[in-house]
Structure 1
Amino acid sequence: MSAKLHLMKLCVGAEGPGDLAAWQASHFGRAPALHVTRMWPKRDAELLAGGSIYWVFKGVILARQRILTLEPVDGGDGVRRCGLVLDRALVPVAAVPRRPFQGWRYLEAKDAPPDLPASREAEAPLPPAVAAALAEMGLR
């Protein structure tokens, strides 16, 4: 992960990364996932240099997806929106608590949680509340 800039977004309605993966599979099959957001990132070139979207589930960052490209999307009302075209791989990351926010936020690489080691990727994810409590204690 060489990017210097990422996005962070709440994943509303999903209990965890498994729910998001299942939803994306049901909507996009094997094609890249598309997440549409109202605002176009002003720092798009930095995001496209290897950036990811870090997903926050119930107050805890638990996974990321690489941003492949950005596409304009017209919602039928004439308003240009931003379609984040995402790699289908959901990469588990160390749990980091985040307070609620609206929309998306930029996330500098220095502040992004590290990917979980490959030896831990097969583990079932902890419930978000447990992951948040452990992260607050400094135990990831």
Structure 2
Amino acid sequence: MPLHMIKLAVGAATVEEMLAWRATRFAPGAPWVMTTRMTPKRADELLDGGSLYRVFKGVILSRQKILAIATEGEGREARCAVTLDETCVRVVPTPRRAFQGWRYLETKDAPADLEDAALGDVPEDLARALREAGAW
């Protein structure tokens, strides 16, 4: 069973904002690389079908398949480069409290893809309001 990673989306309030930011700063076809300070010790499990789930303003809204994990540099300058699939998959909006860095996310705790949930085209704001009210 794959293991996933979860990280806060800093600087973007929605998935659309993140995609627009990406489109203005990188050439089409350029690899999507998320850089972080700590290299995961369970990288093999993440590479076995795992995804990076992103939290926007306290709600998990999207995921991208993890393609590669590499440590770049040495010592205090070392960083981890996580290469992601270009496809950004929307997931069922799921509340998540703030945290620093990234965390592992077990498959049993990961939200379902929005297409698989058969929820229709519910706007993100409405889905968030329904979840906060406990109605969804």
Q: 1:92 to 1:120 in 2, by over 3 A?
A: farther
Which has the larger share of helix? 2
- Alpha-carbon contact 2:92-2:117 (below 8 Å) kept: no
Partner AA of 1:14 in structure 2: A
User: What corresponds to 1:27 in structure 2?
Assistant: 25
For 2:100 and 2:18, locate their aligned partners in 1 and report how far apart those are by CA, in whole Å: 19
User: What corresponds to 1:134 in structure 2?
Assistant: 130
Tell me the SS of whatever aligns to 2:94. strand
Once the two structures are superposed, the pairs formed by residues 106-117 of structure 1 within 5 Å of their partners are: 106-117=104-115
Structure 1 unaligned spans of 5+: none
Q: 1:59 to 1:106 in 2, by over 3 A?
A: same
If the length of structure 2 is used for normalisation, what is the TM-score? 0.86
Once the two structures are superposed, the pairs formed by residues 55-70 of structure 1 within 5 Å of their partners are: 55-70=54-69
User: What corresponds to 1:46 in structure 2?
Assistant: 45
Q: Tell me the CA shift for residue 46 of structure 1.
A: 0.1
If the length of structure 1 is used for normalisation, what is the TM-score? 0.84
**CA deviation digits over 1:12-62, x for unaligned, max 9?**
110111111112222333222111000000000000001100000000000
For these two proteins, the number of residue pairs brought into alignment is 134
- Alpha-carbon contact 2:93-2:124 (below 8 Å) kept: no
For 2:135 and 2:120, locate their aligned partners in 1 and report how far apart those are by CA, in whole Å: 22
**Identical positions, percent:** 49
Structure 2 unaligned spans of 5+: none
